[in-house]
Structure 1
């Protein structure tokens, strides 16, 4: 049965391409059968060692169904792991007026510039532009496989450790908010929810990882959730 994807009246839509609200789509399954990544494997030295000697593994998600005719564009995001006593991941909430992925939870990042040296350079530059994170506070430790969005961005996730004292200054044009989510939460599949929607005869599937930040729900879904799921597969392999 097709699902009505229109957002509830009290919610701001999280997607414009196509226009539907993922919070209105029921949960099809929860991956509570998969084990969490043990806390010792989330320590900085363990993650460094994992990137130095990667295991045999395969990313679970690589591409989304295409729903635009735009030409593909290369981009990078920074997966910023803040080195607190219990590591966290720094995420942003995009402003609602942006043309793509408005209002969504995202990693700092964006399109590659011709002057960028490599994917890490793009991620660091964009993080500084979006949230004021100076690259001197970041240690790049590795990269994950590319992920292609339905809007045709070919994204390279760049994993970096962020010193907890790093100051932030949000770019109000692009970023409505920035917040941290415990890495252990994100690497626990019992919090990974699967959604399925039939839209115009086409089947669309995605993950969500809703996180309660005090009284605020941070609805992590789509490309951000998919890249985090790939990170889980990498660390759990």
Structure 2
């Protein structure tokens, strides 16, 4: 499977260590999770007019608080697989009605482990045939972001950022879109999606 651009991967400025989600399922204790990569509106022939649905998380002080992310979360009782978990989380976080939006799951990207939160994340890719009506859950989502798919394709600009994140001086690549920066695991997922679409 194509890899996301190297420029996205965070580097610690004090040690030179790359802080990147490992392409591994992680330890047996890692908690399974899934995110929904929802492209809408779209048809079988994707174009640059399509959008990717992102969220900005409410800042509750956790590992991913305030981040720009994809809808999703950990598996819960009753989730049979990553698709079930991703669609349930999207319904809870952004009020997605898969039937009303004509959502069709088309596959999964690479499952990977995020050490800082100990999640084993499976990205589930889906296409909506109709523009979905969405409502943010106020407890979890500060804003719903409809980002252009073109922002993550191979020729899209990547902005290099130097800042302190959770106590570490980092330099990382981010996709600028909608006045926000998409970085970290979310950028990795969307960068891989863009690389796949770029080969189509």
TM-score, with length taken from structure 1:
0.64
User: Could you tell me whether the CA contact under 8 Å between 1:147 and 1:227 is conserved in 2?
Assistant: no
* Structure 2: gaps of 5 or more residues: 10-19, 23-28
Q: Does 1:141 align with 2:85?
A: no
User: Aligned partners of 1:236, 1:163: CA distance in 2, in Å?
Assistant: 21
Match of 2:41 in 1: 83
Gap change, CA 1:157 and 1:184, over 3 Å in 2: same
User: Could you tell me whether the CA contact under 8 Å between 1:59 and 1:145 is conserved in 2?
Assistant: no
Alignment of structure 1 residues 1-237 onto 2, 5 Å = 57-60=1-4, 63-64=21-22, 71-83=29-41, 86-136=49-99, 137=101, 138-150=103-115, 151-194=117-160, 206-211=172-177, 213=178, 217-237=179-199
TM-score, with length taken from structure 2:
0.74
User: Aligned partners of 1:72, 1:209: CA distance in 2, in Å?
Assistant: 28
3-state SS, counterpart of residue 230 of structure 1 = helix
User: Aligned partners of 1:205, 1:120: CA distance in 2, in Å?
Assistant: 33
Greater percentage in strand: 2
| RMSD over aligned Cα atoms | 2.8
| Number of residue-to-residue matches in the alignment | 171
Deviations 1:69-111 (A, max 9, x none): xx41110000010125711101000001152211110000000
> Higher Cα Rg: structure 1 or 2?
1
* Structure 1: gaps of 5 or more residues: 1-56, 65-70
User: Aligned partners of 1:161, 1:233: CA distance in 2, in Å?
Assistant: 17
Greater percentage in helix: 1
